[in-house]
């Protein structure tokens, strides 16, 4: 960082590209409101916590929903700023379910949520988080749009969905976020993907592998995999072919379950691992089960293509990822509270929430408004 930049308040730096002074001022108001408003972060409550102006809610509505400022430059600068101030152990990609009432919020749909065992009315976002010593800080987002939202001309118009934005699966959204990550940190840490029953793990593994990235992906127990031979990924000439794939959970239970004699320490999960071949039977990978109880079945299953030489580091990242509470800080700062219905409005709100979360996480919770000049 240039020495002169060290004295520039973060909010000034992050919103410096906004073309108008009033936009930069309202960005500061919005951030302060997100950081200080207790409970739900509605526009009216945000405004009331920061300024006595009776027109502030309307001005904030205009700033988030109707003004034309671009959110991608803010996110790019946010990612650079966060990476400068905390060491990156991993880039974490994770789905975030945002419960909604009604059917007019952009991207809203009915979805089964495995974590709760319920079908809910919601939006589904996929976030990119820099994971380091200070936790998981969001720097980028994609919003899932079911085909109903991309193929219905009326819905597209009402939600102001850009012409170039079409339907993409959650796995494709995940990979589009991954494409932006290598340009941010000097050295690319592994990409950790929480799938949570919303993202196709096999598609993400294939995409990350094709991009040459180091990856660790949460997988379902039913994912069919083959045990890797002891001598390498390919059978010798004349040897019997690899056995048929079996569910990942069965491989772990047979070959990697921790010994019952190993004491279970609260808060310290036990890990067991086994070498496997990726679907197609050509590339080796490590399958890792995480046990937090004495149950026969692992509580979480991860698959990684990281090389064996980095096994200790890989298991440390997996242990940290298993305990991660990704997206909680952003939810507390109002990610779920946006009441607008437009696609640009949602992305601007998510960007401001991410900035507020980073300011709090990096110790800049009380932030002056961006300059008015």
Sorted by sequence, the CB contacts under 8 Å of residue 217 that are 6+ apart come out as 192, 193, 195, 201, 204, 205, 208, 302, 303, 304
**The pLDDT of residue 264:** 60
Contact criterion met (CB below 8 Å) for 196 and 114: yes
Helices vs. strands in the chain: H and E counts, helices first: 13, 11
**The pLDDT of residue 226:** 92
Segment 261-284 mean pLDDT:
76
- List pLDDT tens digits, range 159-170: 999 999 999 999
Confidence of residue 3 (pLDDT cuts 50, 70, 90): very low
The β-bridge partners of 287 are: 274, 303
Segment 102-116 mean pLDDT:
94
**Cα 181 to Cα 178: distance, rounded to the nearest angstrom:** 5
pLDDT at 282 over 50: yes
Q: Based on C-alpha coordinates, what's the Rg of the chain?
A: 23
**The pLDDT of residue 5:** 45
Confidence of residue 152 (pLDDT cuts 50, 70, 90): very high
Confidence of residue 255 (pLDDT cuts 50, 70, 90): confident
**The pLDDT of residue 334:** 95
pLDDT at 294 over 50: yes
Our measurement of the distance from residue 4's CA atom to the centroid of its chain's CA atoms, rounded to an integer in Å, reads 32
Cα diameter, the chain: 82
Segment 76-90 mean pLDDT:
92
- List pLDDT tens digits, range 21-43: 999 999 999 999 999 999 999 99
Mean pLDDT, the chain, rounded, equals 87
- List pLDDT tens digits, range 194-245: 999 999 999 999 999 999 999 999 999 999 999 998 755 555 444 555 678 8
pLDDT at 52 over 90: no
Segment 45-55 mean pLDDT:
90
**The pLDDT of residue 323:** 75
Confidence of residue 62 (pLDDT cuts 50, 70, 90): very high
Cα-Cα-Cα-Cα torsion 176, 178, 179, 184, nearest 10 degrees, comes to: 130
Q: Which of 80-89, 158-167, 168-177 has the lowest mean pLDDT?
A: 80-89
């Amino acid at each position: 960082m240039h020495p002169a930049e060290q004295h520039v308040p973060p909010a000034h730096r992050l919103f410096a590209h906004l073309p108008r002074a009033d936009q930069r001022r309202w960005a500061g108001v919005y951030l302060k409101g997100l950081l200080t408003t207790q409970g739900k972060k509605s526009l009216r409550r945000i405004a009331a916590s920061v300024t006595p102006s009776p027109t502030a809610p309307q001005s904030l509505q205009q700033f988030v929903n109707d003004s034309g400022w671009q959110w991608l430059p803010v996110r790019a600068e946010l990612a650079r700023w966060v990476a400068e101030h905390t060491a990156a152990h991993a880039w974490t990609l994770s789905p975030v379910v945002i419960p909604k009432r009604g059917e007019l919020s952009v991207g809203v749909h009915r979805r089964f949520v495995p974590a709760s065992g319920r079908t809910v009315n919601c939006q589904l976002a996929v976030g990119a988080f820099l994971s380091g010593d200070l936790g998981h800080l969001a720097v980028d987002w994609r919003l899932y749009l079911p085909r109903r939202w991309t193929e219905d001309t009326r819905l597209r118009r009402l939600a102001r969905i850009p012409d170039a934005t079409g339907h993409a699966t959650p796995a494709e959204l995940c990979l589009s976020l991954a494409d932006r990550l290598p340009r941010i940190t000097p050295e690319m840490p592994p990409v950790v993907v929480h799938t949570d029953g919303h993202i196709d793990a096999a598609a993400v593994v294939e995409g990350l592998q094709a991009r040459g990235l180091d990856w660790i992906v949460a997988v379902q127990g039913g994912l069919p995999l083959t045990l890797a031979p002891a001598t390498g990924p390919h059978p010798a000439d004349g040897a019997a072919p690899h056995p048929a794939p079996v569910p990942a959970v069965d491989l772990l239970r047979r070959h990697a379950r921790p010994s019952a004699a190993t004491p279970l320490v609260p808060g310290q999960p036990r890990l067991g691992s086994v070498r496997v071949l990726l679907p197609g039977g050509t590339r080796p990978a490590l399958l890792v089960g995480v046990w937090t109880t004495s149950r026969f079945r692992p509580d979480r299953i991860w698959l990684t293509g990281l090389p064996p030489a980095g096994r200790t580091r890989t298991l440390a990242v997996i242990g940290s990822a298993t305990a991660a509470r990704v997206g909680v800080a952003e939810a507390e700062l109002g990610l779920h509270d946006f009441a607008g219905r437009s696609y640009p409005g949602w992305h601007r709100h998510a960007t401001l929430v991410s900035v507020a979360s980073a300011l709090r996480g990096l110790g800049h919770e009380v932030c002056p408004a961006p300059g008015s000049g």
